[in-house]
Chain A
Amino acid sequence: MTQTNERSPGEEYETLYSRLQQIVEQLETGDLPLALALALYEEGVATAEACQRLLDHAALRVRTLMDGGDQSLAMTETDE
């Protein structure tokens, strides 16, 4: 059966977003060593930018399953 293993933009976004959340919380609560705090901050900024880029450049992707009771279910890609 057709399963895509590559990560979807949504999955990528979610991963980045939860990392961003984690970084912000760590920075807000933890009394981190400054070097670590700086590294986290830089990672956080980059992560936020990556999230924003994903949102800005996302284009809806539509796959169509073959019609009817065809059990082979070939996939067709449509660029919407």
Chain B
Amino acid sequence: MQLLTVSQLNMYLRDLLDADDLLRDVWVEGEISSFSRHFSGHCYFTLKEGEAQIGAVMWKSVAARLAALPANGEAVLAHGRVAFYEVRGQVQLYVDTLRPAGIGLLQAQFERLKERLAAEGLFDPSRKRPLPLLPHRIGIVTSPTGAALQDVLNILRRRYPLAEIVFAPCRVQGAGAAETIINALYALYETNVDVIIVARGGGGAEDLWTFNDEQVARAVFASPVPVVSGVGHETDTTLIDFVADVRAPTPSAAAELVSPDIVALTDDIAHMRNRLEAAMTQRLANARETIDRLKLRLSLRSPESRIRRDRQHIDELLRRATSTLERRLILARTRLDGARGRLEALSPLATLARGYAIVQSPTGTLITEAAQVAPDDRIEIIVRRGRFHAHVE
């Protein structure tokens, strides 16, 4: 038998426990009781199961990673190491991870909260607002260090660099994160953003727990502008997804939803230019047509055409007059020729041509009987060519 001091015994027990592999890495299921948070931030509680219990310690750093501090009566799964606390001679569980046990009380609480908020109308489809077509200012609520922010900015830079981004940083997990999200949201409400994206990259269900916070949901509900939630991955659904005006499966998808595509915008401008050209071409064609029509009407009424028409009329009249005259001339000439023929047949000259002569007195009296002359009378004899005087014997 050996005599030990208390310190020696405790040291022995400590070494004994430390040497055990199982106790260094153990999951313990139980119910929280006597939970207390020291002003240092460290948490102390008891894990109970029926009559059995074990003291547990959760350091401040571990507690800070939790979405919410556990409450007494909550069923949890605690992970950590079992060690001997020599000062008080107690065996304790040093918790480094704490999760709701099974579907857990938290999940049940969440379902109850969801039902309550649904009944209040927070998820009412009729209050969902459409996203602005061309948001001028886009608010983003997310962690300054997370990938979600860069994802969102990259998409917006590529798709819609005309936007102005107002970034409201917050913490997206751990104790107090909900409060920073609410503050970030209300800070954005005081600015003139047109739409707000609440984003957080994927993570375990407990990492997204902050977005199931009732006050966060109410803060989103209070937004004066449409809110797009882009929290987690496709399959994760949190409370704010129900409250938000539009739910996007990822932060990148949220950014795409709020931004028009610059390629589409460029196409649209080109299309407008084409319409502009076409409309102007049409207008010019119309103008040209009108001018042509007017020119035609003008030329029809111009004095020149009147003169041309009159001149044509005069020409026609003149032609008709000429031809009439010509016909009459021909007729007259024919008649004249006939008359001349007849005249020539009757002409004394024709008789003369046949060798007869005309005898007349110097006074021109035609002598047709011998009794008209006496001897020594002078007479004039006309023959076919010429005339001469003679003495009657």
Contacts and interface: CB of A to CB of B under 8 A. Distances in A.
Interface string A38-80: 1001001100100110110011111111011100010000001
B235 interface: no
A63 B164 contact: yes
Contacts of A44: 272-273, 276
Contacts of B266: 52, 55
Interface string A1-41: 11110001111011001001101100110011010011001
Contact of B167 (A45, A62, A73): A62
A59 B158 CA distance: 9
Nearest to B190: A1
Contacts of A4: 164, 192
B279 A24 contact: yes
Given A10-B136, A65-B169, A69-B179, A37 B280 contact: yes
Contacts of A63: 164-167
Contact of A67 (B161, B169, B279, B280): B169
Given A10-B162, A67-B144, A28 B275 contact: yes
A76 to B, nearest CB: 9
A20 B272 contact: yes
A11 B136 contact: yes
Interface string B55-69: 000000000000000
Nearest to B281: A41
Contact of B168 (A23, A32, A65): A65
B134 A59 contact: no
B266 to A, nearest CB: 6
Contact of A2 (B157, B179, B191): B191
Interface stretch (B82-90, B112-120, B180-188): B180-188
Contacts of B91: none
Nearest to A14: B134
A48 B192 contact: no
B295 interface: no
Interface string B270-287: 001101100110011011
A72 B307 CA distance: 92
17 contacts: A4-B164, A8-B162, A10-B162, A13-B134, A17-B134, A24-B272, A28-B275, A31-B286, A37-B280, A41-B283, A44-B273, A52-B269, A59-B161, A64-B167, A65-B168, A69-B179, A80-B157
Interface of B: 134-137, 144, 153, 156-157, 160-170, 179-180, 183-184, 187-188, 190-192, 262, 265-266, 269, 272-273, 275-276, 279-280, 283-284, 286-287
Interface of A: 1-4, 8-11, 13-14, 17, 20-21, 23-24, 27-28, 31-32, 34, 37-38, 41, 44-45, 48, 51-52, 54-55, 58-65, 67-69, 73, 80
